[in-house]
Homo-oligomer: A and B are copies of this chain.
Amino acid sequence: MTTQAKTMTTQDIANRLVELCKQGQFHQAHAELFDENAESIEPESAAQMGWEVKTKGMDNLKKKGEQWNNMVEEFHGISVSDPLVTTNGITFTTSMDVTMKGQPRNSMEEICVYQIRNGKIISEQFFY
């Protein structure tokens, strides 16, 4: 056996995830807390806005993050609720204050759901 870091509990992951989201550090959250094969799921309606509904794997999640960054004119801030936690799941709500390129400043609310296996996030799903 090799030396391994202690597996994070779902509550540990929830606390760190909320901390990083509050700082707008979404890329850091992916790098630190997500499984290599993690999936990201948007609502079906997001396809009309040029988003893939399902994105799989860290390389593709990183590209998705870059796609988002390229659409943002200015990120003004985000508020994040306290998380609700089950054995293998995390849910919380966010409200982002953001100006997308070519659009007026807007408030975007989401429900976020994360599924955890073996101390890593294997999926994120957004509802808006």
Contacts and interface: CB of A to CB of B under 8 A. Distances in A.
A33 interface: no
A69 interface: no
Contacts of A87: 109
A86 B109 contact: yes
A53 interface: no
A65 B92 CA distance: 27
A115 interface: yes
Closest CB pairs A-B (n = 6): A86-B109, A89-B111, A91-B91, A84-B93, A91-B111, A89-B127
Interface of A: 81, 84-93, 95, 109-111, 113, 115, 127-128
Given A84-B91, A86-B110, A89-B128, 14 more contacts: A84-B111, A85-B93, A86-B93, A86-B95, A86-B111, A86-B128, A89-B93, A89-B109, A89-B110, A90-B111, A91-B91, A91-B111, A91-B113, A91-B127
12 contacts: A81-B84, A84-B91, A84-B92, A84-B93, A86-B93, A86-B95, A86-B109, A86-B111, A87-B109, A88-B128, A91-B113, A113-B113
